[in-house]
Structure 1
Amino acid sequence: MADFLPLLIELGTEELPPKALPELAQAFHDGVLKALAARRIEVKADAGDQPARALYTPRRLASFLPAVAVQQPVQHSEVLGPYLNIGLDASGNPTPALLGFAQKSGLDWQKLERVTDAKGMRFVARSSRPGAATIDLLGEIVNEAVKGLPIPKPMRWGNRDIAFVRPAHWLVILFGREAAKAEVLGLKADRMSRGHRFHHDKGVWLNEAGEYLQALREAKVLADPRERRERVRAEIAAAAREAGGTARVLPELLEEVNCLVEWPKAILCSFEAGFLRVPQEALISTMESNQKFFPVLDTDGKLSEKFIGIANLESKDPAQIRLGYERVIRPRFADAQFFFDEDLKQGLASMAEGLKTVTYQAKLGSVADKAARVAHLAEIVALKAGANADHARVAALLGKADLQSRMVNEFPELQGIAGRYYAAAAKQPADVAAAIDEAYQPRFAGDAIAPSKLGQVLAIAERLDTLAGGFAAGLKPTGNKDPFALRRNALGLARTIIEAGLDLDLVVLLDAAAKSLPAGLTLDTAELQEFILDRLRGYYADQGVPSVQFDAVADVRPASLLDFDRRLKAIAEFAKLREASSLAAANKRIRNILKKVETAIPASVDASKLVEPAEQSLHGALATALVDTDPLLAKRDYVGTLKRLAQLQGPVDNFFERTMVMADDAALRDNRLALLKQVADRFAAVAAVEQLSAS
């Protein structure tokens, strides 16, 4: 008999929830592995041509393991008994306590072993027994895996006192060629799986665990989600080629469709070309979100009148399925067309007027009030960023108008997108229309910032007002609560400024936002600046920037976030230099010395009071470095500045080795402190390099 055999476990159910299915299947597979490990049953994940993995379809959860040990290893046990002073009497005879322990252990008391611990010597019963056969343990293993599944709302069915995510109908547990004798969820395990509901509506006899995938494949079920996903992808691509275009395939939609079918087949469909005058985003949203269809784009990336549905069978009459898909989508498209036409009749300016009656937030007024504040800030930002201030103001005043539209009411995800269409229809300048849409970027983690200058201006102004208003109105995030998405807005603001390369003074902008707030509201701009910088910490951490380098720049609080980014890149280059560690430690030492000084430190160094060669050398080296780095700092060449300052390592180290800073002579002491302060201040013109010191 082989030492290892393949194991297949399949639990058949009614249709499982598609969005939860991958996680549920993986949890089931992991639960089986955990239960096997708890019993010390060895599993080889890479044995054979089929790797260990979770398998699933809409009607089944399965776990396949190519090599599982047929038996537990020898089971050793050790039970501690009474100490000698309790187990033996004064004559060395066993006490009732020891005899009871020996009887319970099934051993003669004289065969008990002895061990010593911190309290002394005691009796111990050691024994060994052969491990159990794995197949005899599979019932309890599967039951453990099922009980451990993350099911928030289990269902009950029939008159059974059993609950699961969906009613369960069959169970297969095959270990090699042998079917386990087990019961799970009221189902007795056997070797009979089931095929496709329509193509093979009968049992599928499995001779052995390893033939599972092929046997189901012959029964028109692709049980491997990877194989099924690739079939869906290939079917979509073939249908798109037939249509002369390219399918839009979102990964999350592909995964959801993959969890809805067992034998996928693409159906190429079409709709009336007249619907294409409706914003394509609305049509695409309807197809993807509501119907799980894949839109087909033309060679220019625009929506065509074709789309692709994925059927769960290979029909003899695909035309009937096509008619069904086309029939179900037409009323939704007609609704979108009606909303669009009615919105065009109303016009964006009229929608903007309607915002006066919509409350943004009790302390911050109406949405129209917010739009006015954003317009004011957009003008300020535009002038500093080199954009058209008049266009920025118009885009801001119209930016929220589409919230009053029928289209956004039906499709909330089209905020800004609908406004772009309506602005274009109203003959607004092209950059104004684009900015209304782009102001929402980045919409989500990983999304790009607004591509146009005016869009960037509007995105910044919008977030400035949201952050200032949120903090002033007492809506700061707490724990997991962030109703105004202030964390996301802070990161979006910072990313837009940095990635767009806009050299803006954040402190000035926050002050402007504070002055724009309704009367009676005050804003701690320093606190808000700190909040924004804190969002940047995670942003740079994701790019692999060490926290000590971030802290080194954050400590000097650059007013410009673009300048922050430049300094951070310079610190990264400085940290690579061989002099960096020594200079960081020296700067830390300087800072610690200066912190302890209670008297005023002279603003300049008196060269006549430099009596030691080491301090004279440092003074001369620093004077030259100051002259060399002044023009570099003026043009914000921080990399060049730090590389030049790195040449001070020798003079600084020599100074500390040969000079007593805190001399008894006050004049000498103050002069040396002034020299050290000049060294520290010049490094601090870039960053707090002492943060890089490990000591």
Structure 2
Amino acid sequence: MSTKDFLLEIGTEEIPARFLDPALEQLQELARDLLRENRLAHGEIRALGTPRRLVLFVRDLASRQESLVQEVKGPALKVAFNQSGEPTRAALGFARSQGVDVSQLVVKNVGPVEYVFAVKRQEGRPAQEVLAGMGPSLINGLHFPKPMRWGVQEVRFARPIRWLVALYGEEVVDFSFAGLSAGRISYGHRVLSPRPLTIPAAGEYFRIMEEARVVVDPRERRQMIWKQVRELAAGRNGQVLPDEELLTEVTNLVEYPTALLGTFDAAYLELPAEVLITSMREHQRYFPVRGAGGKLLPCFIAVRNGGKEYLDTVRAGNEKVLKARLSDAVFFWKEDLKRPLASRVEALKKIVWQESLGTVYDKVGRLTGLVRYLIPALGADEREAEQALRAAHLCKADLVTSMVYEFPELQGIMGREYALAAGEDPTVARAIYEHYLPRFSGDELPHTFPGRILSLADKVDTLVGCFAMGIQPSGSQDPYALRRQALGICHVILDAGLVLSLRELVDRAYGQYQGRVELKIGLEQVWTDLAEFFAQRMKGILADAGISYDTVEAVLSTGMDDITGLWQRARALAAFREEPGFAAVWTAFNRAYNLSKKHGFTTVDPGALAHPAEVSLYESLKQVQERVQRFMDARDYRGALEALASLRAPVDQFFDGVMVMVEDETIRNNRLGLLKGVVALASGIADLSKLVVYT
């Protein structure tokens, strides 16, 4: 069968950078699914794009669908035809319903019974015809966070669609969408090649776009940008640190990238580095340049959407815009320094944190209370306690500074800088910054003791307050970043190996709200919901560490109170499962669990033990319980598992020597209590019944 390339180009107004990558992933997946459903054989599928176009290119697409042969089962043969071989009403009705003549029915065995079948063959349609039907489905199947409508169209898309190109080889695929008819007319770069372009064949598309100054492949644009950026930085004896997020955004903002190096007055380097970086990166999409030792140089790299024409004019424009922003930043910096950070705390009374939960000033009061609880709980010394309490008092004060009002991304960072400028303890200043950490996946974690305490207090206060008011994430909606807050708590605890009761921390946080605001949900339900919420976060953390899903489920079943202990038990169990001793633990537990799981008898009367096998198991169980408890107290979960393995022999002897389910109720219950003791001992580490073990 002959093949040709297929091209679909959706020309639009500029699509937001953050929409582009997800749209291309959807386009590729949709194309793969629709081609499979329509039985069109094909080669490589590529989804490419720029801010002005989404492109689907399919190599070696078959000229026709594969034919479809369907066999539809009908009535049994003895029902379909009488003894004379004449078709009955059942056969005639079935044939009619399937659109075939009764003489075309075939007989096939299904097990021992013969049935009649209608065999229907559907010839494959030409690719042109199939693609014409697929075109609107491909476009309409794309979804965006904030779609638009335009003109009188009912269609929703990321941005208005301005042209459509659809070619199968040299032939136009004829379909319409959003009032536009697909054709072969495209457009190049908006400024460098604004004239209409005729695409004679799908295979010519990329050459023509290159000539029209459009780099359609995002990977190619990305490589061009990064190469140019590094070369320009090296020309100033500097470097640009890898920044995947910024590089991706810039890649999706341009069709033909040209990097340029601009400069600014070195006097601006007196500002904190984060202020300069935020002004360049967040607001202008510039790459900051660093010199020796990582210090910022008075220059930046911007990427224009165009060639090298008039580059000096473009550079001057970018420098002028950045100068204005940095001048504002200098003004804010100097004005904010006129007042010490501590004098701004009172102003937090005027800032609402959450309408049902009070002001930011109220939150600071709750944080101070939680820090007072965490200080002894985590064993802070007197100096660390003073630092943590001072940081709690000051941690939100930068929210009322001019700099943070203009640059919200700098909260915490400016708190640190203003604290240092006011002569606060450097550890206090660091804790003010650290209490927001981690801010995103892979971000740094607090490493000072006061910073860790304050980070935990801030996050648990937010979580408990929101859950107590019925505010929980749903689907993709998480306006208070509660998933990130819970994940941050887990990472802070695990990174420092902190041993504390999550339940007690939640109780304390809940108590900070009581009597001050009217909570909608009681403490027990809040804890139940939060325990499950944290369990979902820990599942991800443990899975990322390579721990199997059933091991994760087994350890999570013991509760979420001790996050560090949960991590340690999961690691210990995962490692122990790879060793010969695990078979002894599993066998002892499994035999005891299977027989006793439906019974609630947990007590054992030693005086009622008569058989040597049950006496031996009882004595062994007491000894192992003591050993396991010592290991558990020392958080040596590997040692506890090894101690459990020693129960294998007495459990086997018990089952070989006695019958558990005897008629005598006292004996039966006593023996079930012994087995329950074995199960309970293992359950302190994990619910081993949740493990999937192949024997």
Give the structure-2-normalised TM-score: 0.83
Question: Which of 418, 422, 432 matches 1:422?
Answer: 418
Aligned residues: 673
What is the aligned partner in structure 1 of residue 392 from structure 2?
A: 396
Which range is displaced more, 78-87 or 317-326?
78-87
Distance 1:308 1:456 in 2: 36
Matching residue's letter, 2:334: D
**Structure 1: how far apart are the matches of 2:234 and 2:272?**
24
1:647 — aligned with what? 646
Question: Which is worse superposed, 18-27 or 250-259?
Answer: 18-27
1:311 matches 2:309: no
2:531 aligned residue (508, 530, 533)? 533
Alpha carbons of structure 1 residues 690 and 28: separation in structure 2 relative to 1, 3 Å: closer
- 2:573 maps to 1:571: yes
Q: What are the residue-to-residue correspondences of 1:50-449 with 2, within 5 Å? A: 52-74=45-67, 113=105, 129=123, 131-150=124-143, 153-156=147-150, 165-176=158-169, 178-180=170-172, 182-185=174-177, 191-204=184-197, 206=199, 208-361=201-354, 364-383=357-376, 384-387=378-381, 388-449=384-445
Structure-2 change in CA distance of 1:526 and 1:655 (3 Å): farther
SS in 2 for 1:345: coil
Of stretches 560-569 and 587-596 in structure 1, the one that deviates more from structure 2 is: 587-596
Per-residue deviation at 1:140? Answer: 3.3
Q: Which moved more, 1:281-290 or 1:166-175?
A: 166-175
TM-superposed deviation, 1:551? 4.9
Letter in 2 for 1:70: S
Say whether 1:474 aligns with 2:469.
yes
Matches within 5 A, 1:457-468: 457-468=453-464
Q: CA deviation at 1:38?
A: 3.8
Question: For the Cα contact (< 8 Å) 2:68–2:122, is it kept in 1?
Answer: yes
Q: Could you tell which deviates more after superposition, 283-292 or 189-198?
A: 189-198
Q: Which moved more, 1:345-354 or 1:670-679?
A: 670-679
Name the aligned partner's letter for residue 440 of structure 2.
F
Amino acid at match of 2:640: T
Q: Is the 8 A contact 2:188 2:197 kept in 1?
A: yes
SS of structure 2 residue aligned to 1:233 = helix
Residue type of the alignment partner of 2:589: A
Which one-letter code corresponds to 2:176 in the other structure? V
Shift of 1:663: 5.4
| Deviation for aligned residue 1:428 | 0.6
Residue matched to 1:48: none
Compute the displacement of 1:458 (Å). Answer: 0.9
Contact (CA 8 Å) 1:584, 1:693: kept in 2 or not?
no
CA deviation digits over 1:97-138, x for unaligned, max 9?
A: 989x99x97x9x7866577999x9999695665x44323544
SS of residue in 1 equivalent to 2:17 = coil
| CA distance in structure 2 between the aligned counterparts of 1:318 and 1:565, rounded to whole angstroms | 56
- SS for the counterpart of 1:300 is helix
The Cα of 1:578 is off from its aligned counterpart by 1.6
Aligned residues of 2:67 and 2:121 also touching (Cα < 8 A):
no
1:49 match:
none
Q: Could you tell me how far apart the structure 2 residues matched to 1:327 and 1:486 are?
A: 40
Q: Deviations over 1:186-238 (max 9, x none)?
A: 55555554433444444555554334323322332211221111111111111
Task: Say whether the 8 Å CA contact 2:42–2:61 is kept in structure 1.
Answer: yes
Distance in 2 (CA, whole Å) between partners of 1:19 and 1:459 is 30
| Distance (Å, rounded) in 2 between the aligned partners of 1:110 and 1:490 | 67
**Root mean square deviation, CA, Å:** 4.2
For 2:395 and 2:613, locate their aligned partners in 1 and report how far apart those are by CA, in whole Å.
64
SS of residue in 1 equivalent to 2:4:
strand
What is the match of residue 494 of structure 1? 490
SS of match in other structure, 1:385: coil
| Residues 263 and 313 in structure 1, CA contact (< 8 A), matched pair in contact too | yes
- 1:231-278 deviations in Å (ceiling 9; x for gaps): 111111112212322224532332222222222110101112222233
Q: 1:288 deviation in Å?
A: 2.5
Instruction: Output the TM-score relative to the length of structure 1.
Output: 0.83
CA–CA separation in structure 2 for the residues paired with 1:141 and 1:552:
47
CA distance in 2, matches of 1:502, 1:463: 16
Deviation string, structure 1 residues 474-509 (Cα, Å, up to 9, x no partner): 345274576655554333323322221112233444
Paired residue secondary structure (2:325): helix
Question: For structure 2, which runs of at least 5 residues remain unmatched after alignment?
Answer: none
Counterpart amino acid of 1:318? L
Larger deviation: 220-229 or 290-299? 290-299
Query: For the Cα contact (< 8 Å) 1:287–1:293, is it kept in 2?
Result: yes
How far the C-alpha of 1:652 sits from its partner, in A, is 0.7
For residues 133 and 598 of structure 2, the distance between their equivalents in structure 1, rounded to whole angstroms, comes to 68
- Of 34-43 and 79-88, the range deviating more from structure 2: 79-88
Task: Give the structure 1 partner of residue 6 of structure 2.
Answer: 7
Structure 2 counterparts to residues 493-512 of structure 1, below 5 A: 493-512=489-508
What letter is aligned with 1:139? A
Tell me: CA distance 1:533–1:546, structure 2 relative to 1, closer, same or farther (3 Å): farther
Equivalent AA in structure 2 for residue 561 of structure 1: I
CA–CA distance in 2 between the matches of 1:674 and 1:296? Answer: 71
Map of 1:584 onto structure 2:
589
Look up the match of 1:560. Answer: 562
User: SS in structure 2 opposite 1:246?
Assistant: coil
Counterpart residue identity of residue 386, structure 2: D
* Partner SS, residue 54 of structure 2: strand
CA displacement at 1:332 relative to structure 2: 1.9
2 CA distance for matches of 1:649 and 1:273?
74
Cα distance in 1, alignment partners of residues 70 and 557 from structure 2? 59
The aligned counterpart of 2:631 is 632
Relative to structure 1, the CA distance from residue 33 to residue 409 in structure 2 (aligned partners, 3 Å threshold; closer, same or farther) is same
Q: Contact 1:81–1:123 (CA<8 Å) still a contact in 2? A: yes
Q: 1:53 to 1:553 in 2, by over 3 A?
A: closer
Q: Does the CA contact (< 8 Å) of 2:147 and 2:156 recur in 1? A: no
Please tell me the residue identity of whatever aligns with 1:581.
Answer: W
**Contact 1:419–1:433 (8 Å) recurs in 2:** yes
Is contact 2:25–2:47 with CA below 8 Å preserved after alignment? yes
Letter in 1 for 2:450: L
Deviations 1:68-122 (A, max 9, x none): 112233466899999999999x9x8999x989x99x97x9x7866577999x999
Paired letter, 2:57 = F
1-structure distance, mates of 2:347, 2:628: 57
Check whether the contact 1:586–1:690 (CA below 8 A) recurs between aligned residues: no
